[in-house]
Amino acid sequence: MAQQSTIADMGLLDGLTRIASQAAAAILAVPWGDLNRRDKPDASPVTAADEASEAVILDGLARLMPGIPVLSEEQAVSPPELGSGRLLFIVDPLDGTREFLAGLDEYVVNIALVENGAPVAGVVAAPARGLIWRGRVGHGAERLTLPQDAARERQAIRTRARPRSGARVLVSRSHLDPATDAYVDRLTNPEKIVCGSALKFCLLAEGSADLYPRLAPTSEWDIAAGHAVLLAAGGDVRKPDGEALRYGRGYGEGNFLVPGFIAAGEIL
């Protein structure tokens, strides 16, 4: 418990917000002609913007909380390398690279702090939308305007109760799978909304949508920050069988894949 008090005293969210703002600026500063897009071994794209954002984040986290390990998409490590400490940062420097390359505004920067496998704080920045969502679990969530050197507009956010019929259901733009599609179709008159990246968690957190199911595997860095923001706003994220998600341990041979989840604006 003393560790949590120390985290609060350090102005954690303000520090993470500053880092996410700087990372967003780094993404926007990369000229379109210099993106140097290439495919990783898993066939997912990576660009110079991903790398510029990650460099800013890793440097910022090392200054904010020295010695805390970082699990980042572009520098994924195996569980033993993370050490035995209780705290871990989980980062996706540019979540939604496909949307970014397509010229859409749905890509985000994800930074989460996990304690003993559970998310305790998260920041999600949407550079093209000029917004940041952030939250500390147990202390609330809010949405802010993005510029790091300007007076921020901020608004407390909260999830909403799911309607019995006509729920607004978020599904992946790039990774919608048949099992998730069938799950949504079994709901009563769902309004299906296609969206990329962890932005979907933020829409749940601010009460703009009700449910985000994903029944196919995804990586921990894709969801940890959004998970934290949603929990802080009053929502919930669980595995399809109802069990809690745990981070930093590597489901399935240490590859940090989450086998699936259901995120909701109300407790599941």
In order of their start, the domains of the chain are 2-157 (3.30.540.10), 168-264 (3.40.190.80)
pTM, entire model: 0.92
Mean pLDDT confidence for 209-236: 97
Q: What are the structure tokens assigned to 2, written together? A: 């003393």
118-126 vs 108-115, strand pairing mode: antiparallel
Residue 65 DSSP one-character state: S
Q: Alpha carbon of 142 to those of 132, 155, 201, 205, 249: distances in Å?
A: 8, 5, 13, 9, 29
Nearest to 212 by CA among 179, 177, 169, 242: 169
What φ, ψ does residue 212 adopt, rounded to 5°? -140, 95
- Residues above pLDDT 90, as percent of the chain: 77
pLDDT at 5 over 90: no
Instruction: Determine the pLDDT at residue 268.
Output: 75
Instruction: Determine the pLDDT at residue 92.
Output: 97
Q: Which of 76-80, 88-92, 168-172, 173-177 has the lowest mean pLDDT?
A: 76-80
Tokens 């871990």: give the residue: 88
State the Cα torsion 116-121-126-129 to the nearest 10°: 160
Contacts of 256 (CB under 8 A, 6+ apart): 71, 76, 219, 220, 221, 250
Q: Alpha carbon of 141 to those of 82, 137, 193, 228: distances in Å?
A: 28, 8, 23, 9
State the Cα torsion 203-209-215-220 to the nearest 10°: 20
Phi-psi region of 140 (alpha: psi -120 to 50; beta: other; left: phi over 0): left
∠ CA 94-95-101 to the nearest 5 degrees? 75
Residue 136 DSSP one-character state: E
Q: What are the structure tokens assigned to 72, written together? A: 């980042």
Alpha-carbon gap, residue 73 to 256, rounded angstroms: 10
Instruction: Determine the pLDDT at residue 228.
Output: 98
